[in-house]
Amino acid sequence: MSDSQVIARRFRPQAYSQVIGQETITRTLINSIRSGRIHHAYLFTGARGVGKTTTARIFAKSLNCAEGVTTDPCGQCHSCQDIAASRSIDVLEIDAASNTGVENVRNAIINTVAISPARDRYKIFIIDEVHMLSLQAFNALLKTVEEPPPRVVFILATTELQKVPETILSRCQVFEFKTITLKKITEQLRSISDELGVAIPDSALMAIARAGEGSMRDAESALDQVISFAGNTITDEDVSVALGLVDIETLNTTIQAIAEHDSERVIQIVEEIVSRGYDLRNFCREMMTHIRALLVIKVAGFDPELVQLPQGEGERLSRLVNSFSEQDLVRFFSILTKTEQDIRVSSQPRFQLEIGLIKMIQAGRLYMLEDLIHQFEELQSRLPGGLAPIAPSSKSPAPPARTSSLRPVAEKVRIPPPAKSVSTGEPVAETKPAIRDEAPSSSQPIKAQPPEIKETPPVVYSAPQPDFSLPPEPPDFAERFDSASDLPLMKARPAPAANSTQSDADRIKGAIEAKGKRLFLSILDHAESIQIEGDSLRIRFPAGAVKFKKDVESKDNRKLLDEVCREVAGRALSLVVTVGAEAPSRSEALPKQQTAAVKPAVEEHSTVRAIADKFHGKIEIIKPDQ
């Protein structure tokens, strides 16, 4: 008779030591029996097939065993045998799914609970799937569960704890049964197979254990099904065919096709799956499990327990995972989840699966926003000054120059004095003005020509002209002007001079570049000076560069500069950011009376007027050459 029993019943645990994966619960029950702290109501909750009813029967045998209340029931007495066979008159097993109404509860429990046990010590009510009781039945049972007669114990079992009223839960000791790990299920299946004389490889056993999804009973039923299909010699192919599982080779082939962006191969794989009769939703679930395994390998390396795959699969999966990033695998999982839902409600499940796999191929071509930002920062760092040039459109007027990246116009322009007529000695209008425009961040000067300007009437200076001299100029300026010695220079502010603080700037910029902060480094490239003075880090930007000042004073950049200062200077430095240069001293500027006399004529000069209109500038200070 025992040979005709299914595996799940034949190998059902009969003692606490045989319960797999619930060591915490069995230990608690054993200690309560030893200490005599028997509660009157217990509630066992957890997934299907994890040992709730089995543990309830073992606990009942512990209380009613003929040898006395014990943690190791004999299993040979009439009480133990009757409880194991579900025919004990003092241990009543009630299926709440078949007795949902209040009348059923009243007849089966309430009217009989006051009757003393006929043979055993305790009268025990095991109510399976208790969440199926109606609300009226729960209310009728409430008082009895709260204050049962002596020697009465309730053991409630459910797979859906949330459906049990709080009033019942508060009167019970609740034990939550966990799903059983793949390793423990596989070990138990190996033990059963060896006892039955079944030859089966570990990979096939693991596939059966995975089909159980954490339920020992489901895994044992699957093993029973495979044995019925293949007999006492079982292969991986037998398991796939008998249970309708997708073999690992097919899953790996699909992943490889996605990695190679081979859409044609993916369509062929779907055709093979359909022709074999696989359930497409099950294929999606298997793919989700496989993607999850790849993600675990990507994050933590190959671990058979975490990945839930045989050790032999580690090498191939490790090669496959190199083709994807963590973001790719997360996208794949989301796509498969949506595809599985669409297959469930679609009249064309095959089409949904094909489209879902094509989406996975296309998702592999997407870029992360962080990667694009990083590439943009690298591109900026390679451009002069850290700013990308913008080509002006021929159909629209050129935008005004940015004051944050250009020096004041007056500093860049040298204006030749009016040429004198040979015959009269009077000044005559100029026809070919020359300008020199320098980009502050470029190593080579950029030469610009102003638009053609019509001749203007001669300009007569009414005030005495100051004596200007020209400082040495670069070679390119001398090549353009033959008589540059007579050209005056007008400056809005003195250009920043190279000094010993340049080494401070180099060290600070070098430390920032070492941290990979090229975007912030491009901001500091616009600073006129970066120097350490005492316990302060002073950064000065040109006039109008308020935006750069705000960027430097932001929270993140302040934190970065604080770290850099500690590395460079060995101590914390206070940050001082200024915009614009200090006003020139009285000795550097022209006297007020001379400035007032020269300024109107300079403003009317054709070249100055053209430059001022082009760059929206104005003359602030007039200085003689030193």
Residue 528 maps to which CATH number?
3.30.300.180
Q: What is the CATH number of the domain that holds 98?
A: 3.40.50.300
Q: Domains in the chain: how many in total?
A: 5
pLDDT for position 166 = 94
Domain shared by 316 and 284, yes or no: yes
Rounded to whole angstroms, what are the CA distances from 398 to 387, 391, 408?
18, 10, 18
At 313, phi and psi to the nearest 5? -85, -5
Q: End of a domain among 202, 226, 243? A: 243
Q: Look at phi and psi of residue 342 and say left if phi exceeds 0, alpha if psi is from -120 to 50, else beta.
A: alpha
Average pLDDT over residues 500-519: 77
Domain shared by 564 and 590, yes or no: no
Q: Which domain holds residue 275?
A: 248-363
Average pLDDT over residues 428-457: 47
Q: What is the CATH number of the domain that holds 206?
A: 1.10.8.60
Is residue 383 in some structural domain?
no
Is residue 112 in some structural domain?
yes
Long-range contacts of 531-536 (CB under 8 A, 24+ apart): 531/501, 531/504, 531/505, 532/501, 532/504, 532/565, 532/568, 532/569, 532/573, 535/571, 535/572, 535/573, 535/574, 536/573, 536/574, 536/575, 536/576
Helix axes 280-300, 349-363, angle to 10 degrees: 20
- pLDDT of 499 higher than 80: no
Is residue 537 in some structural domain?
yes
Domain shared by 290 and 334, yes or no: yes
Q: What is the CATH number of the domain that holds 311?
A: 1.20.272.10
At 420, phi and psi to the nearest 5? -100, 145
Is residue 380 in some structural domain?
no
Residue from 14, 305, 2, 20 nearest 189 by CA? 20
Q: Identify the bridge partners of residue 419 per DSSP, sorted by sequence position.
A: none
pLDDT for position 486 = 42
Residue from 162, 138, 174, 161 nearest 43 by CA? 174
Neighbours of 333 (CB within 10 A): 18
pLDDT-derived band at 497, boundaries 50, 70, 90:
very low
- Residue ranges of the alpha helices (H) in 11-162? 23-35, 52-64, 78-84, 102-105, 135-146
Specify whether the CB–CB gap between 576 and 558 falls below 8 A: no
Domain shared by 44 and 78, yes or no: yes
Domain shared by 229 and 273, yes or no: no
In whole angstroms, give the CA distance from residue 150 to residue 140. 19
pTM: 0.57
Q: End of a domain among 243, 269, 296? A: 243
Domain shared by 29 and 146, yes or no: yes
Domain shared by 221 and 307, yes or no: no
Domain shared by 481 and 425, yes or no: yes
Domain shared by 28 and 147, yes or no: yes
pLDDT for position 429 = 47
In whole angstroms, give the CA distance from residue 258 to residue 250. 12
- In this structure, the strands spanning 123-128 and 152-158 are parallel
* Percent of residues, the chain, with pLDDT higher than 90: 39
- pLDDT of 26 higher than 90: yes
pLDDT for position 623 = 63
- pLDDT of 143 higher than 70: yes
Is residue 68 in some structural domain?
yes
What amino acid occupies position 563? Answer: E
Quickly tell me which residue has 């002209």 as its tokens: 465
Q: Is 149 helix (H, G, I), strand (E, B) or coil?
A: coil
Neighbours of 251 (CB within 10 A): 21
pLDDT digits (tens, 9 = 90+) for 544-575: 778 888 888 888 888 888 888 888 888 888 88
Average pLDDT over residues 448-469: 48
Q: End of a domain among 243, 273, 290? A: 243
pLDDT-derived band at 182, boundaries 50, 70, 90:
confident
Domain shared by 603 and 574, yes or no: no
- Provide the strand spans (E) within 49-192: 91-95, 123-128, 152-158, 173-177
- Size of the chain, expressed as the number of residues it contains: 626
Domain shared by 227 and 110, yes or no: no
Average pLDDT over residues 221-240: 91
Domain shared by 611 and 557, yes or no: no
Is residue 230 in some structural domain?
yes
pLDDT for position 51 = 94
Specify whether the CB–CB gap between 314 and 305 falls below 8 A: no
* Percent of residues, the chain, with pLDDT higher than 70: 75
pLDDT digits (tens, 9 = 90+) for 397-422: 444 443 333 344 344 444 445 554 44
Specify whether the CB–CB gap between 149 and 114 falls below 8 A: yes
Is residue 394 in some structural domain?
no
Is residue 374 in some structural domain?
no
pLDDT-derived band at 32, boundaries 50, 70, 90:
very high
Rounded to whole angstroms, what are the CA distances from 382 to 73, 372, 386, 405, 522?
80, 16, 7, 17, 10
pLDDT for position 601 = 73
pLDDT for position 468 = 47
